[in-house]
């Protein structure tokens, strides 16, 4: 609820902030926390809720405060909410009209509960009726538990004096309410079992089932105690006491009253304690008579001044060692003990944390960390106290008692022994062991009462010192991180100030502490303009969630340069305006990355350069073939021009015209060949366009054809006529095809027997042959059309490949030719891979080599 409250405030949701404030108080009351502490919490809540002017919620807290004040005995009497500041009837008179029904309903439930506890049953019943009419509004409130529980107890209290009609109605009501409580108890016994059981006990009482009633009272008391419900334990004891008193079982009744009284005392309900004392004065004498009272000496019997002083001394210590010393001194001194031990949990086991001895003049306390051994104290006694969480006095340990057989008791024969638990909210915080070997009956009830009060304060203080120590340790750890200066850390606020910064941060930016911490340079001033928006987004996150996930930004150094950093931040608990940020210097990483980018760029340039060089070299190898290729149309052109002239002389214009068109066609053909060569030889940066691969293949085949003819190689093409367009660099892909063709021709030129054949083919395929289906279908849209790649194959009937070194073919400078450079395949592969495709070699089916490359269709979408 407190987290809800904080989150709501941070998010600016005041409505829910207010709701959670009153829910905190509700929870603490339900848990039976010390009334004093609940009051303080309610004051804080009320203050906030009033400031936000949420009147209905304010009145819910006001009603809860009335309950607390009444129980504490601060109102005019236990039977009324009024005091100097509050008037019950005026308040009740305005619970109508536009007032929130939930608030009104909760008020009547609080009143029902208060009047039941004060014993004003008729008023409690009237309040229950008023609440009932409004229950529809409050079905999600946990106070419903109070309604069912206290209404049932009220009716049970009034039952015996009611009319027969009423009794029938009330019996129904009681069963109904018990059923509701049973359902809850089954759902979650720790919270509801004691309430359900107590109502069951009351029902058993009314139905005359005395034995059941006794068992159920006992069970209700135990369940309440086990779960730390001190108020409900008190009430269960009180009802049990009345039950026994009515039946003349006085001793038991007294014991129940005494326990009830002690519960109310521990809860801080002095008003209720006073009422018990007035109603049952006989209890006190009874208590005083008991020789081994566990609990019970009235507070009044004690020297209150001494108790307060001791209690304050213990409460004031926040350092554990000092607290232990103070506690031991006071305990040993005031109890009249000779020796005292303090046993505290240490991880899983119990250890003796301190030993005190009365010296000649004063008490000596020694802190230690010793294990609990049978030679230090009576083992069985210690375990009994741990188990029952009750104090034990052995008045005369040398006489026969339940611990006589204990090794320590047998050997040491201590005179008086007192062992008492330090308990906070049903949790054992430690055990205090005191002994006096000189005299029996040293630990009187009066001393015990005083020690028990001291013990409950000590339990709280021990817990506090533990929390304080944890806090200190945590802080030390954080300090270590800040001071280690392995990263920059600074404390900021949303106004833009840097409140504190460590050396690493200052060093990174080149500023002195005075420069930034004085407020002269806030974190916004240290941020270049283009990073401010990013910072503001982080601020939004901080406001909404309390943290800003790490992100990269830049700071301005004192010398004006930029510092690239990774920064993350969080607000402090309970503050939305202030927090801490860590800053990691990314300069090194940025430098390395720039370096890497530069290297990549250089590599890419070198590759393009190399591709160009090899292309030109290849073209160079083809000079004679190309010259031949160009010569052909030129020769034809000369012939056709001659023919044209002749036809003109013969005045045959028709034939002359035909020859002239042939001249033009020849000229174009020669021009095209030159154009293609120029394109291939051009040094151009890689550039991707949609291209028709078949067309690109045809152009290269035209270039290589005369080289093939020269080597008596038959060059055949088999191009699929429905290839999709490919996004790629035409020149580079043509270079690949040209390389493969020339390699084929070169391989075939050595063949002396059989045909010299070279085939080029293209087709659409699904996936790259040899790769898994899965990969082929990765792109779902393509999986539907099925075709994912264009496959180009160049096969020859040459001598074939050495299958062992097949992968080395693609290594740079691998060649088997005397004039070879060994770059052709290496460059071809890198070109194909730059197009997200693959190039590979296998043996041809019948004979020779097969080179294939596959390019993805629409690969740019896969990237």
- Residue ranges that bind ligand ADP, judged by CB under 6 A: 739, 743-744, 747, 796, 798, 801, 809, 814-817, 820-826, 849
Tokens 């055949």 correspond to 716
The nearest distance, CB 770 to ligand ADP, in angstroms, is 19
Residue 483: how many CA atoms within 13 Å on its side-chain side?
A: 6
Residue 579 vs 744, nearer CB to ligand ADP: 744
How many other C-beta atoms lie within 10 A of the C-beta of residue 586? Answer: 18
Least distance to ligand ADP, CB of residue 730, Å: 20
Which CB atom, from 261 or from 795, has the smaller least distance to ligand ADP?
Answer: 795
Q: Considering the complex, state which of residue 372 and residue 823 has its C-beta at the smaller distance from ligand ADP.
A: 823
Of residues 49 and 825, the one with the C-beta less far from ligand ADP? 825
Q: Residue 282: how many CB atoms within 10 A of its CB?
A: 12
- Closest CB to ligand ADP among 372 and 801? 801
Q: How many beta carbons lie within 10 A of that of residue 13, not counting itself?
A: 14
356 close to 328: Cβ distance less than 8 angstroms: yes
CB of 568 to ligand ADP, least distance (A): 52
SS3 for 67-116, per residue?
HHHHHHCCCCECCECCCCCCCHHHHHHCCCCCCCHHHHHHHHHHHHHHHH
To the nearest whole angstrom, how small is the minimum distance from the Cβ of residue 700 to ligand ADP?
15
Least Cβ distance, residue 764 to ligand ADP (angstroms): 24
**Least distance CB 824 / ligand ADP (angstroms):** 3
Cβ nearer to ligand ADP, comparing 85 with 819: 819
CB-nearer residue toward ligand ADP: 331 or 736: 736
Q: Which is nearer to ligand ADP, 767 or 848 (CB)?
A: 848
Write down the least CB distance from residue 621 to ligand ADP, Å.
10
Q: Closer CB to ligand ADP, residue 180 or residue 828?
A: 828
Give counts: helices (H), strands (E), the chain: 31, 18
The residue (of 234 and 744) whose beta carbon lies closer to ligand ADP is 744
**Cβ distance to ligand ADP smaller for residue 221 or 748:** 748
3-state secondary structure 153-214: HHHHHHHHHCCHHHHHHHHHHHHHHHHHHHHHHHHCHHHHHHHHHHHHHHHHHHCCCHHHHH
Report d(CA 118, CA 88) in Å as an integer: 16
Q: For residues 701 and 715, is the Cβ–Cβ distance under 8 A?
A: yes
| Residue bearing tokens 């809720």 | 49
SS3 readout for 420-432: EEEEECCEEEEEE
Provide the minimum distance between the beta carbon of 731 and ligand ADP in the complex, in angstroms, as a whole number. 18
Cβ 819 to ligand ADP shortest distance, Å: 8
Integer angstrom CA distances of residue 55 from 49, 52, 801: 8, 9, 93
Q: How far is the CB of 839 from ligand ADP (least distance, A)?
A: 11
* Cα–Cα dist 428/91, whole Å: 43
Reported in sequence order, the residue ranges of 382-487 that DSSP labels E, i.e. its strands, are: 392-394, 416-424, 427-436
Instruction: Name the residue with the smallest CB distance to ligand ADP.
Output: 824
Helix (H) or strand (E) holding 550: strand 547-556
Q: Which is nearer to ligand ADP, 576 or 795 (CB)?
A: 795
Closest separation in Å from C-beta 795 to ligand ADP: 8
Least distance from C-beta 805 to ligand ADP, angstroms? 9
Give the position of tokens 């097949």. 806
Q: How far is Cα 781 from Cα 101, in angstroms, rounded to an integer? A: 61
Concatenating the DSSP letter of every residue in 211-232 gives HHHHHHHHHHHHHHHHTT-HHH
**541: which residues sit within 8 A by CB, 6+ positions away?**
547, 548, 549
Could you give the C-alpha distances from 304 to 74, 309, 673, in angstroms and in order?
20, 8, 118
Residue 32's region, left for phi above 0, alpha for psi from -120 to 50, else beta, is left
- Cβ closer to ligand ADP: 697 or 747? 747
In the complex with ligand ADP, the residue whose CB is nearer, 352 or 713, is 713
Nearest CB to ligand ADP, comparing residues 787 and 814: 814
Q: Between residues 66 and 756, which has the closer beta carbon with respect to ligand ADP?
A: 756
Alpha-carbon distances, residue 635 vs 623, 664, 675, 705 (angstroms) = 17, 13, 18, 17
Closest approach, Cβ 798 to ligand ADP, in A, equals 5
Which one-letter DSSP state was computed for residue 725?
Answer: P
To ligand ADP, the closest distance from the beta carbon of 759 in angstroms equals: 12
Minimum Å gap between C-beta 629 and ligand ADP is 21
Supply the minimum distance, in Å, between the C-beta of residue 617 and ligand ADP: 9
- Closest approach of Cβ 793 to ligand ADP, in Å? 12
> 10 Å Cβ neighbour count for 815?
15
642: region left, alpha or beta (phi > 0 left; psi from -120 to 50 alpha): alpha
CB 824 within 8 A of CB 744: no
338: nearest Cα among 433, 430, 452, 456 = 433
Token pair recorded at residue 224: 């309440």
Buried b (16+ CB within 10 A) or exposed e, 596-629: eeeeeeeeeeeeeeebbebbeebbeebeebbeeb
Candidates 145, 157, 168, 250; CA nearest to 201 is: 157
Closer Cβ to ligand ADP, 116 or 747, answer by number: 747
Strands 726-728 and 714-719 come out as unpaired
């Amino acid at each position: 609820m407190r987290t809800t409250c904080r989150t709501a405030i941070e998010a600016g949701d005041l409505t829910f902030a207010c709701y959670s404030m009153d829910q905190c108080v509700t929870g603490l009351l339900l848990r039976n926390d010390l009334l004093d502490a609940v009051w303080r919490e309610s004051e804080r809540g009320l203050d906030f809720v009033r400031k936000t002017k949420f009147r209905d919620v304010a009145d819910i807290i006001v009603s809860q405060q009335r309950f607390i004040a009444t129980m504490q005995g601060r109102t005019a009497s236990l039977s009324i909410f009024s005091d100097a500041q509050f008037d019950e009837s005026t308040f009740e008179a305005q619970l109508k009209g536009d007032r929130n029904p939930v608030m009104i309903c909760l008020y009547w439930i609080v009143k029902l509960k208060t009047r039941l506890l004060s014993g004003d049953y008729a008023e409690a019943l009237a309040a229950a009726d008023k609440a009932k009419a409004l229950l529809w509004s409050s079905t999600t409130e946990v106070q419903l538990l109070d309604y069912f529980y206290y209404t049932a107890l009220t009716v049970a209290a009034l039952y015996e004096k009611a009319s027969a009609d009423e009794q029938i109605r009330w019996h129904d009501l009681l069963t109904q309410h018990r059923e509701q409580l049973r359902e809850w108890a089954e759902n979650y016994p720790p919270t509801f079992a004691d309430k359900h059981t107590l109502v069951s006990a009351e029902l058993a009482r009314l139905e005359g089932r005395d034995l059941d009633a006794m068992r159920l009272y006992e069970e209700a008391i135990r369940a309440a105690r086990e779960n730390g419900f001190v108020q409900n334990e008190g009430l269960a004891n009180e009802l049990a006491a009345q039950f026994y008193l009515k039946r003349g079982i006085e001793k038991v009744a007294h014991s129940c009253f005494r326990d009830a009284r002690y519960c109310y005392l521990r809860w801080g309900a002095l008003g209720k304690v006073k009422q018990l004392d007035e109603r049952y004065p006989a209890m006190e004498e009874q208590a005083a008579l008991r020789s081994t009272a566990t609990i019970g000496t009235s507070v009044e019997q004690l020297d209150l001044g001494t108790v307060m002083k001791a209690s304050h001394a213990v409460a004031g210590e926040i350092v554990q060692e000092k607290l232990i010393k103070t506690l031991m001194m006071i305990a040993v001194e005031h109890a009249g003990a000779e020796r005292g031990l303090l046993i505290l949990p240490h991880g899983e086991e119990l250890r003796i944390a301190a030993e005190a001895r009365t010296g000649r003049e004063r008490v000596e306390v020694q802190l230690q960390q010793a294990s609990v051994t049978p030679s230090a104290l009576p083992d069985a006694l210690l375990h009994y106290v741990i188990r029952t969480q009750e104090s034990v006095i052995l008045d005369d340990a040398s006489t026969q008692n339940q611990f006589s057989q204990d090794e320590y008791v047998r050997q040491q024969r201590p005179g008086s022994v007192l062992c008492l638990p330090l308990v906070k909210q049903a949790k054992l915080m430690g055990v205090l062991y005191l002994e006096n070997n000189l005299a029996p009956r040293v630990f009187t009830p009066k001393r015990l009462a005083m020690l028990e009060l001291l013990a409950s304060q000590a339990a709280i203080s021990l817990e506090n010192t533990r929390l304080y120590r944890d806090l200190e340790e945590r802080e030390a750890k954080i300090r270590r991180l800040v001071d280690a200066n392995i990263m920059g850390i600074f404390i900021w606020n949303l106004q833009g100030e840097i409140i504190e910064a460590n050396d690493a941060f200052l060093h990174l930016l080149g500023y002195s502490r005075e420069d930034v911490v004085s407020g002269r340079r806030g974190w916004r001033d240290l941020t270049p303009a283009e990073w401010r928006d990013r910072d503001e987004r982080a601020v939004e996150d901080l406001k909404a969630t309390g943290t800003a996930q790490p992100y990269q930004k830049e700071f301005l150094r004192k010398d004006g340069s930029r510092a690239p950093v990774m920064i993350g931040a969080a607000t402090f608990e309970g503050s939305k305006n202030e927090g801490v940020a860590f800053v990691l210097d990314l300069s090194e990483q940025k430098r390395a990355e720039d370096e890497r980018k530069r290297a990549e760029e250089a590599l890419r340039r070198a590759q393009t350069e190399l591709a160009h060089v090899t292309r030109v070299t290849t073209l160079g190898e083809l000079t004679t073939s190309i010259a031949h290729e160009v010569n052909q149309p030129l020769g034809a052109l000369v012939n056709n021009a001659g023919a044209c002239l002749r036809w003109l002389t013969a005045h045959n214009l028709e034939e002359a015209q035909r020859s002239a068109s042939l001249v033009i066609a020849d000229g174009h053909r020669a021009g095209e060949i030159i154009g293609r060569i120029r394109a291939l030889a051009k040094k151009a940066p890689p550039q991707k366009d949609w291209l028709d691969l078949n067309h690109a293949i045809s152009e290269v085949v035209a270039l290589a054809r005369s080289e093939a003819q020269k080597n008596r190689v038959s060059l055949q093409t088999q191009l699929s006529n429905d290839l999709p367009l490919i996004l790629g660099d035409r020149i580079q892909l043509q270079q690949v095809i040209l390389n493969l063709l020339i390699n084929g021709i070169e391989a075939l030129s050595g063949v002396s027997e059989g045909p010299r054949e070279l085939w080029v083919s293209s087709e659409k395929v699904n996936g790259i042959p040899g790769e898994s289906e899965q990969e082929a279908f990765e792109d779902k849209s393509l999986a539907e059309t099925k075709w994912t790649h264009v496959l180009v194959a160049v096969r020859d009937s040459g001598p074939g490949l050495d299958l062992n070194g097949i992968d080395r073919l693609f290594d740079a400078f691998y060649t088997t030719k005397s004039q070879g450079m060994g770059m052709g395949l290496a460059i071809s592969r890198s070109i194909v891979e730059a197009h997200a495709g693959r190039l590979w070699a296998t043996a041809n089916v019948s004979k020779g080599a097969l080179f294939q490359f596959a390019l993805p269709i629409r690969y740019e979408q896969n990237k």
